[in-house]
Structure 1
Amino acid sequence: MTREDDYVGDFRSYVDGEQNNSTKRRKLNSDEEFRPGNIIKVIVRNFTTYSYAEFKLSPTLNMIIGPNGSGKSTLVSAICLGLGGKLDLIKRKSMKSMIKTGFDNASIDIVLKGKKGDENVTIKRQMTEKSSTWYINGGLSDERSVKNICKSLNIQLDNLCQFLPQERVAEFAGLSPEKLLFEMERTVSSGHLLEMHKDLIDKDSEREKILQEVNDYNTKLEYLEQERDSLQEEVRKYKEYEEKSKELEYHRMLIPYAKLQDLKEKQKHIKRQRDVIKKKIDYFQSCVSPLITQIEKYKTDFESQKTEVETRNSEMRELQNHLDELREEKERTRETITQLQMTKTSLANRTEVKKKESESIRQEIQELKVKLEDIPQINEGELEDQKRTRDIRHNEMNDLKNQVYEIQDNLNTQISKLRNKKEKIQSLEAKLNSNDKFVILENSIRSRNDLIDNVFNAHMYLRTQLDFKDRYFEAPIISCDITEKKYAKFIEKVIDANTLFAFTLSDSSSYDALSSLLFSKFNAPVRLTKPSKNPSVPREKLSSFGFDGYLSDYITGPKDVVNMLNVISKLDMIPVSSKPLDEGQLQKLLAPDAEGRIPFMRFVAGEHIFTITRSRYGSRQFFYTSEVVPEARFFGVAGLTQQAKEQIKKDIVTSKSEYVTEKGEVEQLRDKINELRNKQSGATEMFEQIKSDIDRMQKIKNARIKLEIIISQKEDRHKKVEADTRKDLTDKIRHLNVKIRDKNKVSSDLNYQVSSQLSKLTEILIDIEKKEFLLLQSRNKVLNGEKLINSLSYLSDALKNAYEKAKEKYNEIKKSDAAKKIREQSEKYTEEQRNTLSSLAETYLSNGRLTESYINEKIKLIEDERSVMSTADKGSISRFEKTLVEIESLKKGLPTLNHQKSQLDSRIQKIFDKWEPELSSITASISRSFQRRFTGVAVDGRVDLVKSEHFKDWRLEILVRFRENSELKVLDHQSQSGGERAVSTIFFIMSLQDHTNVPFRVVDEINQGMDPKNERLAHKYLVECACESGSSQYFLVTPKLLTGLFYHEKMTIHCIYTSGLLPSAEDSGNGFMDFRNSAVSIT
C-alpha cells in the first residue's frame, strides 16, 4: 500500500549509476495533464495475489516492471475487468481465478479522466465467483452503463491495437490480414472507416446477389427465347397433325352412314333369295307325304312283333333260372357224398397211421437227445465276467475316442490359424512389393475423413464385382501418375477434393448403372468424362510468357480420366514454370489485349500459384494474389511410405516367428493324436477279441436252449398220438354209411327234374328264333324307309334353314335401328360436324363409293399420311404461351434489377470515393511511420493495403525483413521468431499514434524474445512516441530491464515486488528510492 505522499523516487539517478543516497523528488502529475479517457488511478482489493494495491498512473508512459510471477499483469487484468472487458480478453476461464485464495469476493476501482468540462469518472466493480456489482461515482449502476462510458471515451478493450495483454500477444501476430484491417480501421480517427468498410461489404454482397439474379435472368431469358423458337415449329407441326387427325375423325364418323347404305343394298338382295327358297319348299312337301304314310305302317308291325319276342324271352329266362337252381342243388349233394366217403375211409385207416406217427416221433426224440449231449454246458459266471470285461474295454475305447476328438478339434483350430497366418504373411509381402497406388487410400483412412473412408470402401467393393469391370475408372489419385514430382502439389491444389477421389464413368449407360450404387451405398463422388477443348494459348507460345508447359502435360493416366480433369479442373489451361517470374513477366501476364482479355487467369511459377482477378470498381484493373502451396499429400506419394514399409517388414518378421511357433504346436498335437490312436487301436483289438468270445458262448447257450425246447415239444406230441391210437371208431363208420345212402337218393331225384326242364327250354328257344326272324324283317323295312326320309329331310332342312336365314336377315335389316342410331348420333354433333358429314356423304354417294369397305380404305390412307407426319406434344401450345408470358415477365423485371444494381453501384462508388482515398492515405502514412522507425531495428518494413475485387477480401499486411539476403514477408505466427514478432508489433502500434485518438494503450510483455539491441531501440521509440505531447497514455509491462535504456522525464516507472521481507503498508520510514509511492507491496 502506498502512503499519501506527493513524491516518488528519481529512478534515473539509479540507472545512471549515481550512488548518492540523497533522494531527488518529482512532483506527481496533476489531473489537468491527463486527457479524456486516461486512467488516473487503479485500486484493487483481494484481486488475484493482491490483498490491496494502489496504482497512481502517469498520463504518458507507465512502465510496470518486476520479476516473473510478481503480478505485473494484474494491473492489465484489473483495467480489462474494471472497464467491463470479458474474461476471454485475458484468457481466463472463470471469475474465481481472479479472486485471491481464501476470499469469496474482490473489488476494482478505476478513476478515468472525464471529458473536457466534466468531472473524473470513478468506476468500481465488486465481484464474486458468479456475480458482479457496478458503481459509477459511488452510485449503483450496471455493466451496460460502464460500457457506454468506455464507448464515449473511445476505449476499445477488444481491439488488439489498443489493448494487447500478455495472453493475446501471440494472437496479434496471428490476426488474419482482413481482421488486422478491421482492427486498424476501428482504431484510427473516429472509427468511421470501419463503418464505411462494413457498409461497403454489405452493399457489395447485396450487389453480388442482384448481379447473380441478373445473370440468372439473362440465362433464363436466353433459354426461354431458344425454347420459344423451338416451340413455334412444334406448334406448326401440331396444328398440321391436328387437321389430319380431324379429317380422320370425320371419316370414322362417316362409317355408320356407309354401313346404312350397305344394309339397304343388302336388303334388296336377301328378299329376292327368300322368295325363291319358299317356292322350292312347297314343291318338296307335296312329293314326300305318301312315303311317310307307308313307313308309319311298318313301324306299327315292328312294335307288335317286338312285344311277342320280349314275352318269350322272359319265359325262357325264368326257366333257365330254375334249371340253374336245380343244377346247383345237384352239385352240392354230390360234394356232400364225396366228403362222407372220405371221412369213412379216414376213420378206417386212422389207428394204423397214429401208431406209425408215434414211432416216428419217438425216434426223433432219441436223435435230438444225442445232439443235446454233444453241445457243451456254458458257465453263466464266466459269461457274466466276460461281459463286464467287455464293457470296461468299451468305456476305455470311448475315452480314447473323445480325447482324439478333443485334440483333433484343437488341431483343426490351430491349422486354421496357421493358414490365416500364412495368408497374412503372403498378403503383407504382396503389399510390400505391390505397385498398386490403392495403398495411398488405405494409408489415409486413419485420417477420419468421411470422404476418404467412403471412397476406400467403394473401391474395395467394386474390385470384387467382375460385372462392373471396364465400366469405370478409379479415382485420379490411383489411376493417374505425375511425371514431374515438383508439380504434384500444384496439380493436387487445383483439383478439388471430390474430383480427386471421384470415379470416372465414360458413357451414360455406365453412369446409369453405377452412379446410384455409388451415391446411395457409399456416398462416393462420380464424374462423367467429356472431351476437353484445346487451350486458348498454344503450347509452342508458352515459352514467350516464361512457362514450360501446362499442368496437364505432367499428368498421365487413362484418357477419359485426364479429359475429365481437364474439363473440371482446367489443368490444360494452367501454365507452369519451374522458376519464379520476374516483375516484367508478371506485368505482361496482367496486360489485357485489345478485347480486354488476359492469357491466363491462373498459373504456377516457382513455389507459388498465382490467381488473377479483376476489380469491379475504379479502373477495373487486373491484379493477382499468390499462395505458397504445401507439399502434395496424395500425388506426392508413390505408394507405401518408408515408415509404412518398415512397419510391414516388422509385421512380416513377427508373423513368421508366430507361424513357426504355431506350426510347432500343430506338430505336437499331431504326435499326441497318433499316440492316442495307437492306444485306441490296441484297446479296440482287445475289445473285439472279448466280444468274439462272448458271441461264441452266447451262440452255444442259445443252441442248447433251442434244442431243449424242441425235445420238450416232441415229447408232448408223442404223448397225444399215443392216446389217439387207443380210441374205438366202429359206431362212427356205421353212421356215415346211412348218410351216404340218403344223399344218393336225393341226387337221383334232382337228375330227373333237370332233364324235364331242359326239354321245355328247347321248345321255347325254337319259337324265339322264328319270331326274331320276322322282327328283323319288319325292322329292316322301317330302317330303309327312315333312311330314305332322312335323306330327303336333309334337303328339306337345308331349304328351310336357307329360308329362315334369309327371312331373319331380311327382318333384321327391316327392323334395324341403324338409321335411328345415326339420327341420335347426329343430334350430338355440332352444326359444323353435321354439315361436314353431310357434304362428305353426298360426295361419296354421288360417286357410288359410300360403302363401308371404301371408307375404311380411305381411313387407312389418312392414317398412313398422318403416321409420316412429325408428331408434337399437345402441351407445346400451352408451353409456347407460357414461355411467351415468362419472356415478357423477365424483360419487365430485368430493367428493375439493372436499376437496383446501378443504384447500388452509385452508392458503393460514392462511399468508395470517400473511404478508399482516406484509407489509402492513412495506410500510406502508417507505412511511412512504420518504415521510418522499423528500419532502425531491421532491414526493411512497410504496411500495405492489399486491395481485392470484393471489399470483404481487402486486407492489411505488415511486411518485415530482418536479414539482408531475405525478402519482405508478411508478419504471421510462423514466418518470424517470437522476438521479431514482438518488435514488429510494438512498432506497428506506435505507427498508429498519429491517427488514433484512443485514450490509452496497453502492451504486456511485448519485449519477450527480443535481442538487447532491438529491445533498446524499440524501447527508445516507444518512450519517445508515448511522451510526445498529445499522445495516448501507454502501459508497458515487462519482467526485465536492460541497462542503458532511454528514459524520458514524462514517463513513470512502477516497480512490483512480492516478498515477506517488505515493510507493511503502515511502515512510514524513508529508504532507498522511497518506494512508498512508486512501489506496490503485496500483503
Structure 2
Amino acid sequence: MSSRKRVVDDVDSGQEEEDQEEDKIQRKKRNIEIQKTQNISQPTPSPNKTDEYVNGSIYRIKLHNIVTYSDVEFFPGPRLNVIIGPNGSGKSSIVCAIALGLGGSPNLLGRAKQLSDFIKQGTERGFIEIELFNDNGENFVIRRDLKKDNSSDFRFNGKQMSKNDVLKKIKELNVQIDNLCQFLPQDKVVCFASMSPKELLIETEKALAVDGMYENHMKLIELKKSQNEETNSLEEQKRSLDDLMRKNQALEEEVGKFHERQRYLDTVELLKKKKLWVDFEECKDAAKRHKEKKAELEADLKKKEDDRAPTIQTIAKLKEGLATFQQKNKEISTQILQLENHIQKNNMQKEDITLKIDGANQQLDLLSQRAEQKKAEVDKLKREIHENNQKITQLMDENTVKAQLEEKNQELRVLNSKLNEAQIQQRSASDNLTQLDREIHSNVTRLGQINNKREAKLNALRQNNPEVFKAYNIINQNADKFEQRVFGPVSLEINVENDDHAKYLEFIVPYRVFMSFIVLTERDKETFHQLMDKFKFRANVFYNRNPGEQNIHREIPLDRVKQYGITHYLDQTFTCEAPVRDMILDTSHIYYILAGSKSTVGKEKEILKANPTLRNFFTSEEYWSRTKSKYGNQSELVRHSSLKPSDLLSGINLTEKVELETRIAELKSIASQKKETLSAMVAEQRTISGKMKSIQEERSRISQINDERRKLYAKITHTNRKIQDLSHEEDEEKIRARLKKDIEENHKRRVGILTAITNHLIKQCTLYLERDHIVIKLSAFEGRVQFEQDKLDNTASAVDRLRGELNIVTREYTKALGEAKSKKALCDREAPFTQELFSKFQEFEVTTSEEIINEINAYETKAKFIISKNPRVLEDYENRKKEIESLTAKLEDREQYITNRKAELERLKTAWLGPVNRFIQDINSRFTKYFEAIKCAGEIHLGFNPLNPDDFAEYRIDIKVKFREEDKELKVLDAHVQSGGERSVSTMLFLISLQDLTVCPFRVVDEINQGMDGKNERMIFDQIVQSAARPGLPQYFLVTPKLLHNLNYSENTTVLCVFTGPWHMTQKQFDNNLKQSIANKVNS
C-alpha cells in the first residue's frame, strides 16, 4: 500500500503563512511545481508513471474555505482511494467538493439547497480547484469560486469560462456527476438501497443511459396506459351505439306524421328569421343616419377646435399680407400712371400717322379727279381746319387741365396717406383686442380652476397619499358591491369656504381621520376589508353604529366673543353629510374650539382674560390653548403654535374669485368698445378707398381733354399739310409713287407704334388686373381679419353648441347602434345569414314586419291542427340519428387510432426489450461472479407480469441471493427475508456489477458500508479492491468512517486520512514530527 498524502483540516488561521511555506517545501520534494496566476493553480506536470492514470481522472484537489476546510490540497492515487476519518471530520465535504467543483448543483448531493451553504462559516467566499489528468498534454485545472450571494465563477486552465462551456469540457472526458453509477454521495446511498425492484430498473436505465432505454421505457408505459384507456372507451362507445340504434328503430313509424307539421313550423321559423333581418335593416338605417350626422358634427367640431388655436397667428399673418398688398397697390398705381403717359404719346403718334395714311389714300383715290376737285378739296380742308379750331376753343384751357390734374393727384396723395394711417391704427387696435382676448381667456381659465374645488382636492389627495387615492378609485369602481353609500376619504366629503378655517381643521383633526372611509353597515365594513385585502391596499374605515345628533353644550356664546373677530365654533366652519360630521365630532371634539380671523390677531391675551373658561381658539396665524395644572396651586399654562397653510381642504378663494369676475367683465366691456372702434376704422378705410376710386376716374376724364386737344392739333397740322401739298402737286405718276411709298412707310411706323401701344396696353391691363386683384385682396384681407377676429370671439360658443349637439346625436347614435347590434346579434344567433337562407326569404312575397306577422299566424294555425301524443318523438329521433352518425365516425377513427398505437407499441417494445435483456445478462454474469467470490450465490433477472407481458409499468429487476448453504434456492431480495447487512452487500455488489458496464474516468462511493457487519464489510471491501486494482480501470474513491483490521490491500491502493479534533496537528507540525522521527531512526 502506498500512502500518498495526509489530509488535514487547518482550522488554525494564525499559522496560515507558515503552512503555505511548508506546502511549498512539500511540493519541491515531490518535484511538482505549482504556480499561481489569478489565484488559480496552473496544471501540475504529470509524474513519471502517467500510464497509471485514466484520462479525466482526478490528479489533485485543492479547497479553500469549503465547509470544514480552511485550506487543504491533496493528490489522490490513480486506482483505489480510501478516504477515512472520524464522523464529522469532513470526508463527505470532499465528496461535495468534487461534485460542486465539476459543475454539479447542490440538489445533486441531497444536502444543502444553496451554494452559500458550502462556504465555511464566518467567511465570505471560497474556491474548489480540481486537476483532471490529461493523457495528451498538460492536465486540466478547473476552479470554481463560490460566493455568499449564491453565485459562482468558473475558470478552466486559468481562463474565465461559463458554466455551460465547463460542463461541455467535462462531458468530453465522460464525467457524469449526476450518474449514480459514477457518483454516489452519502445521502443517496440509503435512497439507492431502499429502491423497489421497479424503481431499481428505471434508475439502472438512467444510469446506463444507452440506446434510449429509459426514454423508450417511459414511452411504453405511457403508450400502454393510453391504449388501455382508448380500448375501454371504444367498448363503451360501441355499447352506446347499439343502444341508440335500437331506440331509433322503435320510433320510425311515428316519425312520418310529424313531417308535415314540421314543414309548417319550419316555415314559421323561416318567417321569424326574415322578420329579424327586416327589423335589423330598419335599425341599421336609423343608426346610419345618426352616424352620418355624428360624423358631420364631429368634423365641424374638430374644424372649430383646430381653427381656434391658429386664429391669432392667422390674423397676424393677414396683417402682414395687408401691408404688403398696400405697398404693392401704391407701386402699381405709379406704374399705371407712367404707362398712361406713354400710351397717350403713342396714340398721338398713331393718330398722326393714321391721318397721313388716310390722306395719302384719299390722294390716291382722288388723284385722277384732282384737277376738278382740287379747289373744292382745299375749301373743304380749310373748313375742317376752321371746325377743329372751333373745337379747340371749346375745350378746357390746358393750364386749367394741368391745375385740375395736379389737384386730383394731391387729393389722391392725401387720401392715400389717410388710408395708410387708418390701416396702422387698425392693426394697433386689432393687436390690443387680441391682447385683451388673451387676458380674458387666462382669467376665465383661472376662474374655472378656482371653481373646480373637488378636482383640486383629488389632486391634493393623490400627492399626499397615493395609496388612499387608489383605494378611493377601487371603492368607486365596486360601489355596486356595497349595501349603502361609502363616504370618504373624509377630506373629499367636507367643504370649507374659508382658507383659514381649512388650516384650523387640518391642524386639530388627525391626518388619519381625513384619510378614513365611513360605512353604515357591518356587512359593508366586511366588504371594504375584503376589497382592501384583495388589492393589497391599507386604508382606515369607520363604522357609524349609532348615527344621530350630537349632544353639544357650548359654554361661551358667540355674541360674547364676536367683538374679537370670532364668528364660529370650529364645527360650524364646514359642511358635510351627517355620517361624516358624526365621525369627525366623535374623533376630534372640535365643537368647543373657537375659530377666529385676522382681526383676532393681537387680542389673544385679552380674550383669555375675558373668558376664564375658554380653553382653545384659533387666530389666522396661531392655535392657542390653556390648561390648568392638576397639582399644587393649579397654575395655568398657555401655549400657542404656528399654523401651516392647508394642503387637503383648501376651499374657494372668494376674494380672488370676485376680483377675477370683475376683471373679466371690465375686459369684456373694453373689448366690446375696441371691436366697435375697429369696425369704424374698417368702414372709414372703405370710405377712403371709394373716394380714391372716384378721384381716379375724374382724373382720367380730365386727362382725356388733353388727348382730344392733341388729336385736333394733329388734324389741323395734317390738313394744312394737305393744302400745301395740293398747292405743289407733282406729276401724277410721281405723286402716286410717292404716296404709295409714304403709305408703306407710315404703315410700318404705325405697326411699330401699335405694337408699342399694344405692349403698353397689355402691361397696363396686367397692372390693372393686378391692382384690382390687390384691391380685392386688400378687401378680402380686411374682411378676413375681421372675420378671424369675430371667429375668435364666437368660437367658444360655437364649439359649446356643436359639442352639445354632438352629445345628443352621439347618444341617439349609440342607442340606435346598440339596438342595431342587439338585433344583428339576435339575427346572427337565431338566423345566421347564408345565400341559401336569403334565397328562401325571396320565396315569400311579404316584405314588411306586419305582413310577416300575419303569415306567421296563418302557418302556426295550420300546425296546431296536427296533434301528437308525444311531440318530442321527431326531435328525439333526429337527435339520435345524428348521434349515431357521429358516434359511428368516431368509432372508425378510434379503431384506426388504436391499431396505429398497437403498431407503435410493438415497434418500441422491440427497440427497448433487446437492449434491456442484454444489459441484464451482462449485469447477471458479473453479479453471479462477485457472489461466487464471497462464497454466496446471486442472480439478476428481468421480472414482469407473465399474465400481461405488455404491462411495462410492472417490469423490474429481481435480485435473487442465497447467503447460507442450508438455503435450498435463491430468494428475491426482500427486507422481510434478508438482514440489513445482507441487503447492503447485495446492493453494493449490484452497483459494482453495474459500474463495470459504464465507462467513466473515476467513481465515488460515500459510506456504502453503512449497516454492514464486519464479515460483510470485509467481503465488499475485497471486491472493491479487486474491481479497482486492475490496470485501465477507472479511479475509485471509497469514503468510510472506519476500516477493519487486517484488510487485504493492493499495492495500488491510496489511503487518505482526515484528522480533526481539538488536539489535531497542523500540516507543519505533522511534517516536523515526521522529519524528527526519520532523523531519530537514522541516528539510532
Q: TM-score, normalised by structure 2?
A: 0.37
Q: Bigger radius of gyration, 1 or 2?
A: 1
